[in-house]
Amino acid sequence: MKRIEVKLALPVVAPLLDVIKGMADSLRRSLAAPLGLTDLDAEFGSAWADELVTAQNEDVKALLALFNDDFFADGVIAFDEDNAEQIVRATAAVRLRLRELYLKALGDETLESGSVELEHLEPTVQKAFMCYLFLATIQELIIQHLDSSILES
């Protein structure tokens, strides 16, 4: 089984974990990407959305689990075929919520290029942007270094 271990600087990552936890709380009752279920039966649409929120919460829980006691002891997180798909979905959900709540004014092109002058941003937006980039890096690591077939299931 392929496995990626990444050593992270705790002083850099710890503040970003606070942002991720805040977004996890924000995602607890609503989808990161709302569904347009207008032409579905209301009861069916509600049940489907509830299932998706539950799955999203499980994904975010898996992401947060990377940052457990072992992480705080050695600074290492690990991705493998068992958790990669969940982590990619969770990072996408958190990034979407960050974009919606804090980064909308930056625009998609700026967000994806990463070309932002941090010193010109408010501290809250700076932290959100750094978290956005951190999660993008996690996604890229998984996609580049683990067999892409695990992401297609």
Domain ranges for the chain, please list them. Answer: 3-151
Q: What is the pLDDT of residue 39?
A: 63
CB distance 150 to 85 below 8 Å: yes
Angle formed by the axes of helices 84-98 and 10-27, nearest 10°: 80
**Per-residue model confidence as pLDDT tens for the chain (153 residues):** 789 999 999 999 999 999 999 999 999 999 998 776 666 677 877 788 899 999 999 999 999 999 999 999 999 999 998 999 999 999 999 999 999 999 999 988 888 887 888 888 999 999 999 999 999 999 999 998 876 655 555
* Nearest-angstrom CA–CA distance, 84 and 62: 10
Q: Which of 30, 29, 134 shows the shortest CA–CA distance to 91? A: 134
Adjacent-strand bridge partners of 6:
77
* Nearest-angstrom CA–CA distance, 2 and 48: 33
The DSSP line for 104-153 is GGG-HHHHHHT---GGGS-HHHHHHHHHHHHHHHHHHHHHHHS-GGGG--
pTM above 0.85, yes or no: yes
Give the alpha-carbon dihedral of 147, 91, 132, 75, to 10 degrees: -80
